Amino acid sequence: MPASLTEGKVSRRLISFLLPILAGNVLQQLYNSIDAVIVGRCVGEHALGSVGVSQPIVGIMVALLIGLGVGTEILIGQAIGREDAPQIKRTVDTLFTAIMLLSVVLAAVGFFTATLLLRAIRTPAEQMEGAVLYLKYIFLGIPGIAGYNTLAGMIRATGNSRTPLKFLIYCSALNGVLDLWSIRSLGMGVEGAAMATAVAQTVSFLLCLRYVNRYSRNMRYDPRHLDFSVNTLKAGVRCAVPASIQQGAMSVGMLLLQVVVNGLGSSAVTAYTIGSRIDSFAALPIVNIGQGLAIFTSQNLGAGRPERVREAKRLSLLWAYCIGALLLVVLWGFGGGMARFFGATGETVKMTEDYVRILSLGYFAAGYFTVVHGLIRGTGNTFAPMVITIAGYWLVRLPAAMLLQGPLGYLGVWLSILIGWVFAFGATLVYYHSKRFQSSLSAWGPREG
């Protein structure tokens, strides 16, 4: 199963590794967007807003699990670079068990507190009932979502990004079928969309688990014969906790931004929902470059080849800037049409168009810090990206939103996102070129033996 990223031409290996990751994440966004399109067209704008207002809450729960998954990928990648098969097995057994146990706890907590959480963020009354139903079904699927994303990350850490894509193709088709069946045929509304997403992710999880157990001797997972290591758990926690805090802080920051948007009325809520969907989809190539570079970095540093990491960083930034230029043209010119595609009408179209146009100006900055954060995480340093991200959200974006929404209304909230990106760009640039980080990168010299 492993496909080493430590040999061969850097550009060719990086592209062949990144493309399946991109395709897989596009599919994930597609079936999130399928939910939004079907709900918006078949149920209505208020129902679409119910889906959107729930997302930051789900994001906080999933963020904790994603952080542990990041730690797992990095440790596995470094062990593969060192060709340390026992440590690969130990990492899988220890961290996958911890993630699944945590996911069950989070699912239970989220299910029973859904109404309370939605009230706490001032969900508009007309969207409350649908949001509660959507949120509860999503929480029931959290173990499947966590299991799939963790196992897919473990498989990608070996250099194999095609297998998770294959499983996701099957399950994206399943999600679309279940969406149409549950919403149009059964009339389930927003809870049908949530059920379809949860079931599709769970099927992906089971397929990944079957593949790992059948084809990977070093990563085979059997609860009856676990090689559980407290030291490995500690190493995973050291790597994962900053990543979890980062993801959690981002999600809480988005949640608080959602509170600000909720105070601007249901049209602004729906525009923010649609705009966030478009942004998530548009930024995927850049996000995937950073994600892939983290794994590429972990393997090559484990193998003692930091020169390949520097070359990969130069290529990744070039690709990210080209994507940023394309997004500027497309989103500036076609934002309104995209809003209508999601079922927006009236003033919601203008609000959504303003959202994507403002964000399109910031993809160059976002490209830089996303790519470089991936490289930094690949070294095992998840602390610096955490600090920069938290500062960008909590010390820049949220205060800017609260200050600007008074005189500028919804435009002030949209602008606060761009301001946060510019801050993260500057902070990342300074940290990457600091003597401290450059020395730590150079310390990963050629491996002896």
Q: What is the pLDDT confidence band of residue 446, given thresholds at 50, 70 and 90? A: low
pLDDT tens readout for residues 42-53: 666 667 777 777
| Rounded mean pLDDT, 186-205 | 82
Global confidence as pTM: 0.79
Torsion sign over Cα 259, 263, 265, 271: negative
For residue 12, give every residue at least 6 positions away whose Cβ sits within 8 Å of its Cβ, in sequence order, or none. Answer: none
Q: Which residue has the higher pLDDT, 295 or 39?
A: 295
How far apart (Å, rounded) are the C-alpha atoms in residues 274 and 332? 15
Asked if pLDDT for residue 447 goes beyond 60, the answer is no
pLDDT greater at residue 221 or residue 416 = 416
d(CA 262, CA 49): 10
Residues 26/284, Cβ–Cβ less than 8 Å: yes
The answer to whether the beta carbons of residues 313 and 441 sit under 8 Å apart is: no
Instruction: Evaluate whether 121 touches 53 at the Cβ level (below 8 Å).
Output: yes
pLDDT digits 0-9 by tens, 349-374 = 899 999 999 999 999 999 999 999 99
pLDDT in tens, 133-179: 888 988 888 899 889 888 988 888 888 888 888 888 888 888 888 88
CB 164 within 8 A of CB 156: yes
Q: What average pLDDT score do residues 69-79 get?
A: 83
Chain mean position to CA 239: 17
Q: How far apart are CA 289 and CA 171, in angstroms?
A: 23
Instruction: Find out whether 323 and 287 touch, Cβ atoms under 8 Å.
Output: no
The pLDDT of residue 32: 65
Top-confidence residue, 3 or 117: 117
What is the rounded distance in angstroms from the CA atom of residue 197 to the CA atom of residue 132?
A: 16
Q: Burial, 222: exposed, middle or buried (Cβ in 10 Å; 0-12, 13-18, 19+)?
A: exposed
Centre a 10 Å sphere on the Cβ of residue 403 and count the other Cβ atoms it contains.
12
The answer on pLDDT for 232 being more than 60 is yes
Q: Is the pLDDT of residue 441 over 90?
A: no
Q: Is the pLDDT of residue 93 over 70?
A: yes
User: Would the pLDDT of 319 be above 90?
Assistant: yes
- Please give the Cα distance from 110 to 136 (Å, whole number): 7
Provide Rg for the chain, Cα atoms. Answer: 21
pLDDT at 448: 44
pLDDT of residue 449: 39
Collapsed DSSP state (helix, strand, coil) of residue 53: helix
